[in-house]
Amino acid sequence: MRCRILVTDLDGTLLNRRGEVSQGNLESLDRARQSGIEVVFATGRSWIECKMVAQAALGDGVAITAGGAALHDVATGRCEDRIVISNDLVAHCTESLVNHGHLAHLLKDSTSAGYDYLLVGDADLDEASRWWFSVHPLETRAVLALDRDERLRDEQLKHVLRVGTVAVADELARVAQAIRDEVPERLTLKHWPALVALGQAGVDTHLLEIFDASVDKWRMILRLCETRGIDPREVVTVGDGLNDIGMLRGAERSYVVANAEPNVAQCATRRAPDHDHDPIAFVVEEILRGQ
């Protein structure tokens, strides 16, 4: 079956170790689009965190952001679709993280909330987040605790795509398990090494991400296919990380890059070169050869 949508992850896949789109990958994206293939970025980053890359590499189209929690129009930044966490679960997860001594990061749909992150708690902002916030034009607000006033509290809890924090891996594993035990089946929790500088992952610094249970890149791809009237079998996916597993398993034809972890690599149907050796150019060439 021909490819009508090519979905690629960003960090560790399209972007090389310097966080750049190579000339080879950039040219291949143009070739794919000129051949009638819609190119979609699917990333764990929020819209504002991937805006520059998406607009420079695509110019228009759509990007799946926040691990599948939102869909943005690349040209305008408008949020076309989203899956937020219910207010009661945002409150529960936030207070649990704070009670465990962590700073809760509430990622907002900034197109509705007017800002990007609400930071809750009295813990210090970790080094990885401090670096990340310094390299992206993010607007953050901070409070020591969720407000007791119902109206103000409701405003703090609205428009949340993801609740998270950054800490030492062992600590996060314990916190994640506690939250899983407290709210079974209503949330999706993931944690893995955080990016700390120049696209490099910290060995002991891990990121915990909590979403509504329905959030996944592949599910947002299916929602996009429905609006486009496209058969999901006409989607090709490329990725490398934990939050790519759903779209690698879901697509009839999927590629994992050589730098992926073994547990991710086994989820794809095909292999591509690592992120420093133009994997998207390789994938596009294979797709066009078979069209």
Residue type, 130: R
Given a cut of 70, whether residue 92 has pLDDT beyond it is: yes
Contact 244, 236 (CB under 8 A): no
Cβ atoms of 117 and 108 within 8 Å: the answer is: yes
- C-beta atoms surrounding 198 within 10 Å: 10
Could you read off the pLDDT of 176-186 as tens digits, one per residue? 899 988 887 88
**Residue 77: closest CA among 53, 47, 107:** 47
pLDDT at 203: 54
CATH fold label, 5-82+215-290: Rossmann fold (3.40.50)
Residue 282: exposure state from Cβ atoms within 10 A (0-12, 13-18, ≥19): buried
pLDDT digits (tens, 9 = 90+) for 116-125: 999 999 999 9
Q: What is the 3-state secondary structure (H, E, C) of the chain?
A: CCCCEEEECCECCCECCCCCECHHHHHHHHHHHHCCCEEEEECCCCHHHHHHHHHHHCCCCEEEEHHHCEEEECCCCCEEEECCCCHHHHHHHHHHHHHCCCCEEEEECHHHHCCCEEEECCCCCCHHHHHHHHHCCCCEEEECCCCCCHHHHHHHHCCEEEEEEEEEHHHHHHHHHHHHHHCCCCEEEEEEEEEEECCEEEEEEEEEEEEECCCCHHHHHHHHHHHHCCCHHHEEEEECCHHHHHHHHHCCEEEEECCCCHHHHCCCCEEECCCCCCHHHHHHHHHHHHC
Cα three-residue angle 170-214-194, rounded to 5 degrees: 30
- Whether the Cβ atoms of residue 166 and residue 208 lie closer than 8 Å to each other: yes
Token duo for residue 232: 């999901």
User: What does DSSP say about strands 104-108 and 117-120: parallel, antiparallel, or unpaired?
Assistant: antiparallel
Task: Tell me what pLDDT residue 290 has.
Answer: 80
List of residues 6+ apart from 53 with CB closer than 8 A? 10, 15, 21, 41
- Residues 186-244 have pLDDT tens digits of 899 987 766 544 444 455 778 899 999 999 999 999 999 999 999 999 999 999 999 99
pLDDT digits 0-9 by tens, 238-280: 999 999 999 999 999 999 999 998 999 999 999 999 999 999 9
Token pair of 28, please?
A: 């291949």
- Parse the chain into domains and list their residue ranges: 5-82+215-290, 87-212
Is residue 26 very low, low, confident or very high in pLDDT (cuts 50, 70, 90)?
very high
Q: How far apart are CA 99 and CA 96, in angstroms?
A: 5
Per DSSP bridges, beta strands 117-120 and 140-143 are parallel
CATH number (3.20.20.140, 3.30.1240.10, 2.60.40.1220, 3.40.50.150) of 87-212 reads: 3.30.1240.10
What is the identity of the amino acid at 241?
G
pLDDT in tens, 119-152: 999 999 988 899 899 999 999 999 999 999 999 9
**Pairwise CA distance, residues 168 & 289, whole Å:** 46
Q: Which two tokens stand for residue 159?
A: 């428009």
Could you tell me which of 273, 267, 274, 240 has the C-alpha nearest to residue 253?
267
